[in-house]
Structure 1
Amino acid sequence: MKKKTEILDSAAINRALTRMAHEILEKNKGGEDLILVGIKTRGVPLANRLQEKIKQIESIEVPVGELDITLYRDDLEKVTESKDPEIKSATIHVELKGKKVILVDDVLYTGRTVRAALDAVMDVGRPSRIQLGVLVDRGHRELPIRADYVGKNIPTSDKEIIVVHLDETDKDDSVSIYEK
């Protein structure tokens, strides 16, 4: 893969997450009954960052959960490349019933990850509403799924890949476009 360009640096990611936190609070009339659920791997640190931003804005601590959707994927054999998938689960320490769940992920592409996450959340509990927040929406949907909160829309071709690096997982904050 060849790096074409960097789309977001650390400061731009921070600004995008600040805006998303404000939008989440505005749309939901505050932070009451909200739960942020990060989709592993990079959705988890993004959910934690959103939690911190909401705390700075509203002085409330919104619970954060983690969701591993590996076994819910409809392309499991393709993703795991014939290896046995590592079995993980949801780590959500609050009751979902009647709550507003905000699924958080780094990149929205085909929609298949989000579809799997919806199934996984419903196995954990029955929230009153599920919303989606993504750092990057790159288009090319295969399923009728759209994000409620988007840090940056980045139209791409099928020959391009969006690579998100976060300090928590990669020791660097950036979003770049690579060419296959």
Structure 2
Amino acid sequence: MKKIILLMFAIVLITGCQNKDVLDTSELEIEESIGNDGEDISVKQLKEMNLPIMYKAPSVEAGLEAIPFEMTLPETLPFETEGFRPPKIVDYTYEGKMIEIEFNATPKQKDKRIFITIKAENFGEYEGHGEGVKINDKVNGAIENNSLTFQTDGILYYISYINKEISEEKHEQELIQLALQMLEKSS
């Protein structure tokens, strides 16, 4: 009886403590890479050329679950959209440790030139180029051109937001609101 209980405890412990230190590729699909000659490049060839492996996730949720860090996307976007598309994920080390993930959202009205791209990486160093901004009491960022960059808990975030229909001041406010949503939900 003790062995059965011990075995059940071990199974729960193992499944409950899945390794979240590396990218989980079980639900991801490798994106085809095309060489200069138009031929597909294999993963082995990518490694030989020291190029990263690119994956696509089947859904937003699957992408968020695959990465080796916690990330929250904003739920309320500053324009009418169908939400974020499934992300692209880049593995720079072939070991799932240096990861970049990218999400994109576009407006429902296809004639509008508005979009948001949110990237996160677990290996970059925040340099703070651009105009310094306070996002909340704990996190500062920098706005340059149409992007806001900030770092928290070792994760570097980039939010790019293109919307020529609003003022520069409103644009900055909306960038900060997007970042606040990400920070509030993750804390």
Place the TM-score, normalised by the shorter chain, in its bin.
under 0.3
Q: Which has the larger radius of gyration?
A: 2
TM-score normalized by the length of structure 1:
0.25
Q: Which has the higher contact order (CA 8 A, sep 6+)?
A: 1
Q: More helix by proportion, 1 or 2?
A: 1
TM-score normalized by the length of structure 2:
0.24
